[in-house]
Every structure is written in C-alpha cells, then in structure tokens.
Amino acid sequence: MRFDEKRVTLKDGRTAVLRTAEPEPEVAQTLIDYMVQTAEETPFLLRYPDEIHYTIESETAFLENAVADPRIIMMTVMVDGEAAGCASVNPVGGVRRIRHRGSLAIALKRKYWGLGIGSKVIGYLSELAQAAGYEQLELGVIEGNDRAKSLYEKCGFTETGKQVDAIRYDDGTYADEILMIRKLTGKE
C-alpha cells in the first residue's frame, strides 16, 4: 500500500522522512545495501550479510507487490537523504481467522539508534495498520536485544511467550525469540 509521507523531528533536531518504499531501482538498491549493513551491525537480525542475495530486479518486483497490496506496509526512513532504516507490517495470513493479525518488523542502521526514530516509526505503522484493518501487531525480538525489547514495551507491546532456540548462530550457540503483541483496538 501507498501512504502519506510523514516528517518527524528526531532528538538531535534533524528530520526523518517516513515514506512508502517505492518500486524503483534506486530504492531497491538502497534497501539491499541497507539490509547488508544492518545485518553486519547486529547479531539480532535473522540473516547474516552473506545470505542477502537480492538483485535490483527481484527487490523492485517485491516492492511492486507490496505497494499493490492494501495489507502490506513497507516504509523507508530517510534522514539527510540517507536510508536510516526500514520497517514493515505484513499479514500473518490471508484467511479470515487470522486476518486481524499483522507482523511488524523494523531495523535501523546503528548510527541512527537512540534518536527516537523507532518509536515514531512504530507509532505511524500502528496508525496505518489499524486503518488497513489490523487489530493487533505481533513481533519477535531475539533474547539479549534489550534495547529493542525496551522500545517495543514503550510502544505498547507485551511479551506473550518465547520460541526456544529460535536462532542458531554459526558458532553453534542458540538464542530464544521473545514473542510480543500490541492490540490496536480496545479488545484485550
């Protein structure tokens, strides 16, 4: 889906622009580069950098499908002309019994951590998700990622359980995934 661009002021006074990830080759390349960089900067994402094999063509096609689908929200976060991050809400599924559930994902480049971007992005994604018919947002945060877990709690997410040994690192160690949910409607 496409949505209105939103400008938000960061803690350091700069402006971040939250906008639709458009299906253009330049945007596709920017997102591929962003995925590699964020995967290099933190162990809390699902992929290693060497597992990112998207092409400009495949990423552009992915973005075309996203903007055409009224239930998919793909957002880029731009600061001073640079992609600071990306976030999305995707349907957990299309069948009626789970249609109310959306899966939220967000990652920012390390140099943009601590500027208030995360809470502004999650706030706007929540508004857009509710307008798209979602009643709850769900996410997983890797155990040990206390910074992200704290952000999610600040944004109204609560822990609902965990997936034990959800992540297996190349060194043979494991990490659990903490499951969290945020209700978008008055239902609890």
Q: Is residue 88 part of a domain?
A: yes
Dihedral angle sign, alpha carbons of residues 177, 96, 1, 127: negative
**For tokens 């959306």, what's the residue?**
102
Q: Is residue 114 part of a domain?
A: yes
Q: In angstroms, rounded to a whole number, what is the distance separating the alpha carbons of residues 14 and 143?
A: 31
In tens digits, the chain (188 residues) has pLDDT values of 999 999 999 999 999 999 999 999 999 999 999 999 999 999 999 999 999 999 999 999 999 999 999 999 999 999 999 999 999 999 999 899 999 999 999 999 999 999 999 999 999 999 999 999 999 999 999 999 999 999 999 999 999 999 999 999 999 999 999 999 999 986 54
Q: Is residue 168 part of a domain?
A: no
Strand-by-strand arrangement of the 73-79 sheet:
6-9, 15-20, 73-79, 82-91, 101-108, 136-142, 174-183, 158-168
User: Burial code of 111-125, b = ≥16 C-beta within 10 A, e = fewer?
Assistant: ebbebebbebbbebb
Q: Is residue 143 part of a domain?
A: no
Q: Is residue 104 part of a domain?
A: yes
The whole-number pLDDT of residue 185 equals 81
Q: Are 136 and 92 in contact (CB under 8 A)?
A: no
- The first and second tokens of residue 171, run together, are 């060194």
Count of structural domains, the chain: 1
Global pTM reads 0.94
Which CATH number do you get for residue 111?
3.40.630.30
Q: Is residue 139 part of a domain?
A: no
Q: Is residue 43 part of a domain?
A: yes
Q: Is residue 118 part of a domain?
A: yes
The whole-number pLDDT of residue 17 equals 98
* Domain span at 99: 6-133
